[in-house]
Amino acid sequence: MFYFIIDILGTIAFAISGVLVAIDKKLDLFGVFIIAFVTSVGGGTLRDLLIGNTPVLWLRDPVYLYTIFGTVVFAVAFRARLKYIRKSLFLFDTIGIGLYTMVGIERGIAVGLSSIMCIGLGTITACFGGVIRDILCNEIPVIFRREIYATACIFGGVGYFLLRRLPFDDAYAFMAGIIIVIGIRLIAVRFKIALPSIYKTT
């Protein structure tokens, strides 16, 4: 139940970030729903296909579709208040990658993958919904820019596996992993920390 709640929270966070992007692009209501949908389940769908967990989760459990639909209705209805928060898209996207990184890692552990593969799976789960969203909205995906994005997911995953070696309940390590991802992302943006570029600045 704990991991299910985290999964639903991640779905909600990413759905809201998708709605905000779609509204910025002035898409119609159907377009808003599609962008929210792919942002929420895109990474999880790729994850399930990679580990052979088919039909993918949202096809087996309609609660994800209901959650996305309800979130879209809420976000559209209160879009003025959400847009009032200048960095709402960034915040919801950051929360989403933190939650989904750990959900993906747990899925990897459940099928017996190594820790490195689990971290990769968690990063895919967290990032690729946003990749699909940005491509559909004609943007360069955040993961391909200099921003600390996927790197935060990797550090969160590493931190999780290190903390699991300590004599604590795994749930604490799980929550710590989420906090590490979100914390690194927030700090990187706050202090303008970025990956080095291969291009010369002029």
**Rounded percentage of the chain residues whose pLDDT exceeds 70:** 95
- Give the whole-angstrom CA distance, residue 107 versus residue 109: 5
- Distance of alpha carbon 164 from alpha carbon 98, whole angstroms: 17
pLDDT in tens, 32-62: 999 999 999 999 999 999 999 999 999 999 9
Q: Are 181 and 152 in contact (CB under 8 A)?
A: yes
In the DSSP assignment, the letter for residue 66 is: H
Closest CA relative to residue 197, chosen from 153, 144, 149, 150 = 144
**Shortest CA distance to 157 belongs to which of 112, 119, 184?**
119
Spell out the domain ranges in the chain.
2-190
Give the three-class secondary structure for 147: strand
Q: What is the pLDDT of residue 47?
A: 97
* Claim: this prediction has a pTM higher than 0.85: yes
pLDDT digits (tens, 9 = 90+) for 102-112: 999 999 999 99
